[in-house]
Amino acid sequence: MASNTLVDGGDDAPNYQLRGVEQVSPNSGTNRYIPDSPSSLTPTEGMLFDTVDDAYNFYKTYAGAGGWTEGQKEFQPVDTLVEQPSDRWVRRVPSKRTGCQAAIRIKLTDAKKYLLYHFTKAHNHDFVHEEDLHLLKENRGINRAHEEMINKMSHLNIGPVRAFNIMKEVYGGFDKVGATKVDFKNFKKELNLFIGEFDAEMYNMMFVPFIGIDNHNRNVTLGAAILGSEMAETYSWLLKAIKNAYWYAPPIIVTDQDPAMKKAIADVWPESRHRLCMWHIMDKLTTKVCFLYDRSGLPCVQIQILGKDLSAVVWTNSLLPEAFESEWAAILNDFGLTDHEWLTYIYGLRESWIPAYYREEEMYGLMRTSSRSESENHFFGKISNLKCTLVEFLSHFDTTIEAQRHEHRKNDHDTRYTNPGEWSDFVLEKQAAQIYTRTIFFDVQLEIQHAIHRCTSVRLDHVGDFIKFFIKDLDQPCSSFFEVMIREEDITVKCNCNRFEQFGLLCSHIFCVLRILDVRESPKQYILRRWTREAVPNSSPGSILTDGGDPDRSEEVNRCVREISHAAEYVVNKLISKFDQLSDFRDHIKQFMSVADEAQINALPKTRCNRFAELLGVAPESTTTIRVPVGTRVTCWKYTVAVPEAGGSRNVEGNVDTIVEGDAATVVEGDGPGSNDADDVLYTSGNDADMDDEDKAE
């Protein structure tokens, strides 16, 4: 027989004890409560303040320390004669209103100071327990650290909910954050509303980055543009701008199958060799062929076999054009696709994307890797977000470019300050380690090792000034030999594998010959500067997003904040095993907390509008209209960047509840602890995941 068991919460159950001093009024017999706030925060008659805000902020701090919240509920009348929207959602907020009369009263003196002339200390309600103080409205809110966290996480496409959870883990608990999850979400929404004023008048626009390959054989973004149309004239304007910036057109450009881009390249960059992206074309195979296969009754597994067979003849540099055409025709015949419209179309474009047709062209091997295209696909996918505004999109782009620059600098560092290790006593290997970047050297090192252990010369012939070596490559299944022609006088050399022509690096077959001839110095004519250490300066330009000038020295402030954070982290890491010294450092920091509290009481807070502008690096007065890109044209990669409609402007400044009578102002304490009736009402439905802005574009 099942039995019911009651579990005692034990020590884990909350133990709420009365805070402050409880008294009984001798006249009315009712209970009244006196807070036990620190004397330094307790108002006293005769205190002077420079402004009403100073008095209000002081009383606000007093309330937060004592365990109640000040202010009165704002009256929001509803006209019952006017029909309300059927989808109007009203959140039911609990309230504890007690009609408490605790208050301070101030008045303006002849000396233009505000005198606290009346203080009612007693309350008609008890106070929030000390462990729950962080839940009071007065003790929580979005401070500068929270704002920076939300904004910086947004740069990484991380929304406010995840930003809050990260901060909770870093700080050590919900009560240590100083704000709630809803506070984070509300701030992010208000920030987006502010951004929305600059993101008006949206229509379809395309984001077009230009991607190159750096001296570490890594992708690098050379530039980007936002276009209002995909007309040939628009692309022509862009290509002219890129050429003006770099002073020349690139020798090779790879794009997707965009007819407007093709026309623009032919008109503006006629000297550039225009090729189509192999990965982009092959990626369409299943979507273009799958439907027909299903209708013809063939199982889907055939599509995978088709893709594998076609990839074998597409992703290779060993086939000549005649061999490719023969292999392609055989595959389509085997699958009954000789009349397939799309396959016939891309076959007609074969000279623009099949390596067999440009295997003699310089550096064509760099266009052949699928991983490069997939890498860019992922790279720009990270900055796309269905809920992005233009400002956020550019912030994401700025962050990803910064990460790209950091990766390049790290690769440079590894090249200059790490030892790759040599595998042989071949002098050209030692030289290569000093000439090339680390990534490229590893590739050259593999070729040298292959030359030493897997290649051998079987015979040689003299052909005029040249010597022809016949090299057997033990890893090649074919029975034929690789032919290396070399002129010893000036070390002019060529191999019929065409590796140097493809990638700008010597092959193992050539290294085998150089070793046989005891060549002691790397032939300079075969060292391409693009792969060397000094090809790219080890520096990076400033931020892509420029600020509009800031009279409040925000850049200096942010730099100071970063230095403080770095210094604090440095000290903690050094003293982590020395508890006494770590405690001294903690006490030293805490001494400044009281100074900071006083400074905050006396400081006039910035408006939300100014803080948003400061975070985003824009001037709040700006009326510039910015149009938003909703698409991406990445040479051969395309994305959609959908942007929500811009919201209207919103007043986000807080208001002080004051009653002004002549030269006197009364600051009134609200009814009871934790009265948050007007708080946290920006979100009307959904859960945390729905409200976050970190969903990726499909």
Q: How far is CA 87 from the centre of its chain?
A: 36
pLDDT higher for 350 or 195?
Answer: 350
**For 294-344, what is each residue's pLDDT tens digit?**
455 554 567 778 888 998 898 887 788 999 999 999 999 988 889 899 999
Q: 89: burial class by Cβ within 10 Å (0-12, 13-18, 19+)?
A: exposed
671, pLDDT greater than 50 = no
The dihedral through the CA atoms of 19, 21, 22, 25 has a sign that is negative
Write the DSSP symbol of residue 676: -
Instruction: Give the DSSP per-residue string, 597-626.
Output: HHHHHHS-PPPHHHHHHHHHT--TT-----
Q: Between helices 144-155 and 390-417, what is the axis angle to 10°?
A: 80
Nearest Cα to Cα of residue 530 among 491, 504, 569? 504
542, pLDDT greater than 70 = no
Tell me the residue ranges of DSSP E strands in 402-538.
455-463, 466-473, 482-487, 492-495
Q: What percent of the chain has pLDDT over 70?
A: 69
Q: What percent of the chain has pLDDT over 90?
A: 24
Residue 265, token pair as written in the block:
């390249």
Instruction: Give the DSSP per-residue string, 82-139.
Output: SPPPTT---------------EEEEEE-TTS-EEEEEEE--BSS----GGGGGGSGGG
650, pLDDT greater than 60 = no
The pLDDT assigned to 190 comes to 83
Q: What is the mean pLDDT of the chain?
A: 75
* Three-state secondary structure string covering 355-398: HHHCCCCCCHHHHCCHHHHHHHHHHHHCCCECCCCHHHHHHHHH
Buried b / exposed e along 532-559 (16+ C-beta atoms within 10 A): bbeebeeeeeeeeeeeeebeeebeeeee
Provide mean pLDDT across the span 517-522: 94
429, pLDDT greater than 90 = yes
Band of pLDDT at residue 233, cut at 50, 70 and 90:
very high
The pLDDT assigned to 93 comes to 53
The pLDDT assigned to 634 comes to 44
Band of pLDDT at residue 200, cut at 50, 70 and 90:
very low
Lowest mean pLDDT among 165-169, 450-454, 488-492, 625-629: 625-629
> How is the beta sheet containing 455-463 ordered, strand by strand?
455-463, 466-473, 482-487, 492-495
The pLDDT assigned to 459 comes to 92
122, 32 contact by CB (below 8 A)? yes
Band of pLDDT at residue 237, cut at 50, 70 and 90:
very high
Write the DSSP symbol of residue 76: -
pLDDT higher for 179 or 157?
Answer: 179
Nearest Cα to Cα of residue 598 among 154, 30, 41? 41
- For β-strands 273-276 and 103-108, DSSP reports them as unpaired
Residue 622, token pair as written in the block:
């700006």
Lowest mean pLDDT among 108-112, 200-204, 433-437, 541-545: 541-545
| Beta-carbon contacts of residue 81 (< 8 Å; ≥ 6 apart) | none
**For 262-276, what is each residue's pLDDT tens digit?**
999 999 999 998 988
- For β-strands 664-668 and 455-463, DSSP reports them as unpaired
pTM, whole model, 2 decimals?
0.58
The pLDDT assigned to 160 comes to 87
Provide mean pLDDT across the span 648-660: 33
623, 632 contact by CB (below 8 A)? no
333, 248 contact by CB (below 8 A)? no
The pLDDT assigned to 331 comes to 92
Amino acid at 654: G
Cβ atoms within 10 A of the Cβ of 476, count?
A: 15
The dihedral through the CA atoms of 390, 396, 398, 401 has a sign that is negative
Nearest Cα to Cα of residue 355 among 327, 315, 310? 315
513, pLDDT greater than 90 = yes
Provide mean pLDDT across the span 113-133: 84
94, pLDDT greater than 60 = no
| Beta-carbon contacts of residue 519 (< 8 Å; ≥ 6 apart) | 428, 491
Nearest Cα to Cα of residue 279 among 391, 149, 367, 360? 367
Band of pLDDT at residue 646, cut at 50, 70 and 90:
very low
Amino acid at 558: N
Q: In whole angstroms, what is the distance from residue 430 CA to residue 339 CA?
A: 56
Lowest mean pLDDT among 23-37, 478-492, 501-515, 656-670: 656-670
